[in-house]
Amino acid sequence: MTTQPTSDGPPSTPRDRGSSIILVLTCLTAVALFATVALSAAVGSLRTADRSTDWNQALSAAEAGVADYLARLNKDDGYWTSVDCTNNALKGPLNGTNTCGWSGTTTPGWLPVPGAPDSTFHYDVDSTSTYSTGAIKLASTGKVGDTTRTVEVRLRRGGFGEFLYYTVYETTDPADERVYGISNATVQNECTRYNWPSLPASQQRPEGRSSGGYGYCTTINFVTGDVINGPMHTNDAFQVTGSPRFKGTTTTSNPGCRASESGPPPITACYVNGGSASPVFERGLAYRAEIELPTSIGDLRQYVVASPKAPVPGCLYTGPTRIKFLPTTGSATPQMQVWSKFSTGTLNPGCGTTGTGSGALGSSTGATVDVPQERLILVEDVPASRTTPTVSTCKTTGGIGDGLPLAGTTGTYPDYDVNLNLAESSCRYGTVYVQGVLKGRTTLAADNNIIVTGNLTYASGRTGTDVLGLIAKNSVRVYHPMKCTARNSSGVCTTWANLAGTMSSGVEVNAAILTLQHSFSVQQYHEGGRLGTLKLYGSFAQRFRGPVGTSSGGTTVTGYLKDYTYDTRLRYAPPPFFLDPVRSGWGQKTFGELTPRY
């Protein structure tokens, strides 16, 4: 008997077997679909990653273009003045007048990034305002595949606007007639040396010698109450008495401050202790290499005569000149009042009319003209070929203009303002007497001195765009007329009196100041008692320390106490035609990204 196998369930049918096949196919389809989606996602991620990589590399290529142009610029300081036809990165429609045959329809040229041949860059240069602002606008575009990115930077040479305070020598100006007499050749030779303690005795300033010194070079101290509200640099070793406060980055070229392999020296090695020194350096004190000051106003004259560099020239005046920047209301055009009695001939348009006629530069009311915006005002010495004026023509009351010299300050020496007896007050020199409220941007330069006769401030205060440059071949001084009222038996003055015009309650100056041969100081700073506080908002660079007062035991006795605050805008937007240090390198000052140009 045969036994049949048994089953746990009912027997299968053909329909059941078909359903199983469908289920299997459905599962396989789902798996295939999932794999397809996953593959697509992976491919998409790769493409996104590629685009992201290209995007980042394009920015790097644009930055490589900036570095390339900077390298060319630092190799040839005048590289920006013409278009280099051999540089394919410049080839294109936006690089202005050129001898290369390039026009507005020229296809942009590209240079490969070194070490990255798939990355290229092209740049466009805008130097239309470089002569006045000192800045070059560079737009650099980086390209990788079809991806491009464009950055825009402003390039400038390192300027004196980097510092609130800059000095070559921390000693009294050898031309200070009160201290050294007139034209003391020995002093002018001996005192134009550094007071670095590490120098051999024979190479130091006389005051810096430990023995056998002559002792006639006078170092000016930073004293208790002095506040330097910004970056400071001196090529010399500076001297401290008491507790002055330095709020910005402070540097010196004193070799004793240079770090060695074992680390930086103690901070006391970086300055000279003039007595009870306990200075406060809020942002430290460190070594920095010497920075060279220009010696003359050089090529500035080309910007006050019609030339390719100055299609709209500034104003050129001759001999002692008085300028008052007038307050401006609302949207009115900023103006200045000018007296320049010794200017002759026809001046540039908008600079006034010479002579004594109504509204002319030599009239009692002077000439009222628009402030030359983004331009230069230059006051030159009287040419040697002219026999007038004499050295004393302008030393009578009102002889310069606007009542200067003031009544009560003139007369027979020594019974009048002693400043008028100094050689620097010759009426044949290009000296400017300035005050007022400036609206706009301009620079005032002088062959001789600039004398600040009253507050010199900005219409927009310290937050707007107003900026003034003061460049003197010799000195910038604060007006302080003095008269001798008593003498001893030897005829030496023992008592002094302030005269009309003395700013005994303090004075404020808003400007970037540059004195090429001498210093920023106060007339007769050593007499007349304490005068308040000299507030400077801006920057100043000088060859020698300019005294603004005297002190005893760290306390101001005569002249002004200093309150100097840095105008940070000067680092990026200096006054028009402001001079830069000799041999300073070009660098990037601002950076931003634009919509891709190509």
Is 274 within 8 Å of 239 (Cβ atoms)?
Answer: yes
Q: What is the model's pLDDT at position 209? A: 42
pLDDT above 70: residue 18: no
Bridge partner residues of 126 (DSSP) = 137
Is 220 within 8 Å of 171 (Cβ atoms)?
Answer: yes
Q: What is the model's pLDDT at position 63? A: 95
Burial class (CB in 10 A: 0-12, 13-18, 19+), 357: exposed
Cα angle value 189/192/197 (rounded, 5°): 120
Q: What is the model's pLDDT at position 56? A: 93
Residue type, 275: G
Query: What's the rounded Cα separation, in Å, for the pair 247 and 228?
Result: 6
pLDDT above 70: residue 208: no
pLDDT above 50: residue 210: no
Which positions ≥6 away from 409 have C-beta within 8 Å?
A: 397, 416, 417, 420, 481, 483, 499, 500, 501
Q: Which long-range contacts (CB under 8 A, 24 or more apart) does 329-336 make?
A: 333/370, 334/370, 334/371, 334/373, 334/438, 334/439, 334/440, 334/459, 335/368, 335/369, 335/370, 335/371, 336/368, 336/369, 336/370, 336/371, 336/436
Which positions ≥6 away from 16 have C-beta within 8 Å?
A: none
**Tokens (6 digits) for 171:** 């000693």
Average pLDDT over residues 476-497: 88
3-class SS at 484?
A: strand
Is 232 within 8 Å of 247 (Cβ atoms)?
Answer: no
Is 458 within 8 Å of 468 (Cβ atoms)?
Answer: yes
- Lowest-confidence segment of 58-62, 320-324, 472-476, 549-553 by average pLDDT: 549-553
pLDDT tens digits, 122-153: 999 999 888 878 889 999 999 999 999 999 99
Query: What's the rounded Cα separation, in Å, for the pair 548 and 215?
Result: 22
For the CA atoms of 138, 142, 148, 150, the dihedral, rounded to the nearest 10 degrees, stands at -20
Q: What is the model's pLDDT at position 1? A: 45
Sign of CA dihedral 247, 249, 251, 257: positive
Q: pTM of the prediction?
A: 0.80
Mean pLDDT of the chain: 87
3-class SS at 397?
A: coil
Supply the DSSP string of 176-204, one letter for each residue: -HHHH-SS-HHHHHHTSS---TTS-GGGS
Query: What's the rounded Cα separation, in Å, for the pair 442 and 574?
Result: 10
In the Cβ-directed half-sphere of 329, how many Cα atoms lie within 13 Å? 0
pLDDT above 60: residue 42: no
- Lowest-confidence segment of 226-230, 452-456, 554-558 by average pLDDT: 554-558
Looking at residue 488, the DSSP 8-state letter turns out to be -
- Lowest-confidence segment of 110-124, 170-184, 223-237, 244-258 by average pLDDT: 170-184
Which positions ≥6 away from 50 have C-beta within 8 Å?
A: none
pLDDT tens digits, 265-309: 999 999 999 889 999 999 999 999 999 999 888 779 989 988 777
pLDDT above 90: residue 321: yes
Domains recognised in the chain with CATH numbers: 49-98+107-158+590-594 (3.30.1300), 161-287 (no CATH), 298-517 (no CATH)
Query: What's the rounded Cα separation, in Å, for the pair 455 and 437?
Result: 8
Which positions ≥6 away from 4 have C-beta within 8 Å?
A: none
Residue carrying structure tokens 């575009």: 141
Q: What is the model's pLDDT at position 571? A: 85
E runs forming strands in 367-449? 367-370, 375-380, 432-438, 441-446
